[in-house]
Structure 1
Amino acid sequence: MNREYHKWYSPTLNREMELLVFGHGGARMIVFPTSRARFFEYEDRSMVAALGDHIESGRLQLFCVDSVDAESFYARAAHPSGRIVRHLQYEQYLIHELLPFVWSKNLTPFTIVHGCSFGAYHAINFALRHPELVNRAIGLSGKYQMRGFFDGYDDDNIYSNNPSDYVPNEHDSGRLEQIKKVDLIMVIGEHDPAYQNNRELSSALWSKNIWHAFRSWNGWAHDWPYWQQMIRRYIGGA
């Protein structure tokens, strides 16, 4: 299996950023780590191995990115307004630095964003905010109500990065049509604390006539052995 390590200084984030690439072609899948985790987590947790046949056959290429969660959502010493601004800088890094790199490596016109737990939030939120850049989004055991990270503070930036808020209130027909083109897949265990939040977001999507897959798994199902099974089942769609 082709494996590449890449690192560059990000002018957007004013720091070095690292990532791993697995595979040589096929659908491009950007993988976000769990909360405050690193770009090598997906490999270390045997998720790359779980997709090994897809990768080696050239059907799938992974781009496992780093996060700045410790500088944004989890930066409790910073003012909440600064935390969300740092997240928005991360989003700009993804759009203006990561995606051009991904496109330079692979011209296949199909992009997937994916993550587990906190990574699922990143994937689904990015797809909903920038549906023109994404073909499929797979969120495993995610949470999409993020207000608990901001100590009761609220502003437009927080609202516009909180899917539980902005999806029910989206009325722009153009944006809704773009979102409808994305294969949205949300999977969560029925005993996961975020299960009801997932159901509510699913209901909000249906209320906008946005077709998507919402899949429940037995039990808690919030751990790597479950996610290995989930990604195998849903990588090709709902």
Structure 2
Amino acid sequence: MHREYHRWYSHNLGRDMELLVFGHGGARALCFPTSQGRFFDWENRGMMNVLRQHLEEGWLQIYCLDSVDSESWYNGHVHPGERAIRHLQYQQYVVDEVLPLTRSKNDNPYSIAMGASFGAYHALNIGLRFPEHFNRVVGLSGVYDIREWVGDHYDENVHQGNPVELVRRMHDAPDHVQKIKELDIIFSTGRDDNAYAHSVELSNHLWSLGVWHAFRTWDGFAHDWPEWEEMVLHYVGGPDSR
């Protein structure tokens, strides 16, 4: 299996960022780590072996990204408004720096954003904010309401980083909604997951906009790597693709 390591200074974040690339061709898939996770977590957890056929057959090329969660939403030492700003800087790093790298290495026009747990949050949030850059978003056991991380503070930056509220207020942005309608949106959550209500709310808001999507409910908690191994095989190729 082809594997590459990359590191460079990010002008958006003001520090070095690292990532891993797996596979030689196919759809370009950005993979976000779980909360405060690292770029090597999916590899260490065996997910590249789970997706080995997709990678070796040239169906997928996966870019495992690093996070700055400890500097953004999980940084309790700064004001919530600063946490939101850091998160948006991270998204600009992905759009301005990572996506051009993927295009320079692979001319396949199809791109995916995916992740599990807080990585699912990142995948859905960036896909909903920048739908013109993605064809599919896949969220496994995600958290889609960020208000728990900001307390009583709420401003436009927090709003941009909050998928549930972002979608709820899109009725006045028909052009953006049309772009989202062109996305293949897939997210799955265990019925007993603490964040299950977030997925239900997000789904309801998407339907209210007329946005087709696949929201899949799994039995039990379903919020750990064994379930994500199954989920990713079910959904990375589309709704119920396995």
User: TM-score normalized by structure 2?
Assistant: 0.97
**Structure 1 match to 2:214:** 213
**Structure 2 match to 1:112:** 112
**Structure 2 match to 1:14:** 14
The CA distance in 2 between the partners of 1:87 and 1:234, in whole Å, is: 26
**Structure 2 match to 1:175:** 176
- SS of 2:222's equivalent in the other structure is coil
- Pairs within 5 Å for 1:111-150: 111-150=111-150
| Percentage of pairs with the same residue | 51
State the AA in 1 paired with 2:206: L
State the AA in 2 paired with 1:216: T
The total of aligned residue pairs comes to 238
The CA distance in 1 between the partners of 2:82 and 2:32, in whole Å, is: 21
Post-superposition shift, 1:200?
Answer: 1.1
Post-superposition shift, 1:152?
Answer: 1.3
State the AA in 1 paired with 2:193: D
| Runs of 5+ consecutive residues of structure 1 not aligned to the other structure | none
The CA distance in 2 between the partners of 1:235 and 1:96, in whole Å, is: 24
**Structure 1 match to 2:26:** 26
The CA distance in 2 between the partners of 1:10 and 1:203, in whole Å, is: 37
- SS of 1:8's equivalent in the other structure is strand
Post-superposition shift, 1:196?
Answer: 1.4
- Pairs within 5 Å for 1:85-100: 85-100=85-100
| Runs of 5+ consecutive residues of structure 2 not aligned to the other structure | none
Post-superposition shift, 1:151?
Answer: 2.4
The CA distance in 2 between the partners of 1:124 and 1:65, in whole Å, is: 15
- SS of 1:62's equivalent in the other structure is strand
Post-superposition shift, 1:168?
Answer: 1.4
Greater alpha carbon shift after TM alignment, 142-151 vs 107-116: 142-151
**Structure 2 match to 1:156:** 156
Deviations 1:20-60 (A, max 9, x none): 00000000000000000100000011111100001000010
Q: Is the 8 A contact 2:87 2:161 kept in 1?
A: no
- SS of 1:113's equivalent in the other structure is strand
Deviations 1:116-160 (A, max 9, x none): 000000000000000000000000000111011112111111012
Post-superposition shift, 1:197?
Answer: 1.3
**Structure 2 match to 1:43:** 43
Supply the RMSD in Å over aligned alpha carbons.
Answer: 0.7
The CA distance in 2 between the partners of 1:85 and 1:106, in whole Å, is: 31
